[in-house]
């Protein structure tokens, strides 16, 4: 007699717990794993896109989300800052990633170091408004993201119209993006093991900046 396959609900529940999307205790503590995985995924996507644009000598589609230069704050630091000060649910970051993918597809732009920060603060804010019971207003998110309230208002409207206000994410889509992030964790582990095998030691700095992160204009 064969072993019964795990129930889909049980599998999803374990997946969400592994990403830090579900809290087993009464209070959440520490940084949810989804932030590190998402930042690694976005950083690799940015690197690939910028290499592609450079090798093909193509010009990217310029949108309102593009700045003149890349911010000094890295993607992981920026995500950590948003999570720390916005108090949104970890699931918002998965939904925000889905929104970003939809927006990029609709605009035919590429995710690069010039637009990823503005897309992140906008998509997380929109996700929090859509799925969380409580959320901060645009002025607060603007301070967290290092932009003006006026600019964030414009970014939000452009983002919503770019998505055609299609903000619903079904369970299947959410689960598939969670699986994608889990896969990113496996890739990261393989890279880490390769570095250890070569006896290469790197010192990573990830200090949080308590002041407002100013996005480059």
| Separation in Å, CA 19 to CA 23, 148, 186 | 10, 32, 13
Measured from the Cβ of residue 86, the count of other Cβ atoms closer than 10 Å reads 20
Q: What's the whole-number mean pLDDT along residues 77-83?
A: 96
- Cβ neighbours for 79, distance < 8 A, ≥ 6 positions apart: 35, 38, 39, 93, 120
Q: What is the pLDDT of residue 114?
A: 94
Question: pTM of the prediction?
Answer: 0.78
- Euclidean distance between CA atoms 99 and 105, whole angstroms: 10
Name the token pair of 45: 């996507």
CA atoms within 13 A on the CB side of 57: 0
pLDDT tens digits along 12-54:
666 667 666 665 333 456 788 899 999 999 999 999 999 998 8
- Euclidean distance between CA atoms 166 and 157, whole angstroms: 13
- Euclidean distance between CA atoms 165 and 189, whole angstroms: 37
Smallest CA-to-CA distance from 100 within 189, 186, 180, 13 is with 180
Mean pLDDT of the chain: 80
- How large a percentage of the chain has pLDDT more than 90? 55
């Amino acid at each position: 007699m064969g072993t019964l396959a795990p129930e889909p609900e049980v599998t999803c529940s374990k997946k969400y717990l592994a990403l830090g999307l579900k809290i087993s205790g009464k209070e959440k503590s520490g940084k949810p794993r989804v932030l590190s995985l998402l930042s690694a995924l976005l950083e690799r996507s940015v690197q690939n896109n910028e290499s592609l644009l450079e090798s093909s000598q193509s010009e990217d589609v310029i949108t309102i989300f593009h700045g003149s230069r890349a911010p000094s704050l890295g993607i992981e630091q920026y995500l950590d800052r948003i999570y720390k000060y916005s108090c949104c649910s970890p699931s918002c970051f998965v939904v925000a990633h889905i929104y970003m993918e939809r927006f990029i597809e609709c605009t035919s732009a590429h995710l690069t170091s010039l637009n990823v920060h503005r897309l992140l603060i906008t998509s997380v804010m929109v996700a929090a408004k859509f799925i969380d019971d409580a959320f901060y207003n645009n002025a607060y998110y603007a301070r967290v993201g290092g932009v003006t309230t006026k600019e964030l208002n414009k970014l939000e409207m452009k983002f919503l119209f770019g998505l055609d206000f299609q903000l619903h994410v079904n369970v299947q889509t959410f689960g598939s993006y969670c699986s994608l992030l889990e896969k990113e964790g496996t890739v990261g582990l393989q890279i880490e093991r390769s570095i250890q095998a070569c006896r290469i030691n790197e010192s990573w700095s990830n200090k949080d900046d308590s002041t407002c992160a100013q996005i480059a204009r």
